[in-house]
Amino acid sequence: MVYSAGLAGSITMARGFTPLYQRVIDTIEGDIRTGRLKPGDQLPSTDQLRQSMGISPGTIRKGIDMLIDRGVLRGHQGLGVFVAEKS
């Protein structure tokens, strides 16, 4: 699983107008939509996502938090974050 964010290393954030946390959301939801992530699947750890996307842990977390709040993901402390079984 790749999770490349592109533009990694751009400190000045010369991004378009898509916030980084939105890119986290888009990436995960895209992988769910295409079937690369299926219900019950475990996501890469926050630290792995941080490394592969080049985004700080807090920003990774913000995207995941929103998807958990929306019911798309489920977080289990000590275990990991998983794709929700039902939408």
Residues that bind a copy of itself (CB under 8 A): 62, 65-66, 69-70
Residue 60, Cβ neighbours under 10 Å: how many? Answer: 24
Alpha-carbon distances of 14 from 3, 8, 61, rounded to whole Å: 20, 11, 22
DSSP H or E run through 80: strand 80-83
Q: Which of 6, 33, 34, 79 binds DNA (CB under 7 A)?
A: 79
Contacted by 66, from a copy of itself, DNA, none: CB < 5 to 8 Å by type: a copy of itself
* Positions in the binding site for DNA (CB under 7 A): 13, 15, 19-22, 43-47, 54-59, 61, 64-65, 68, 75-81
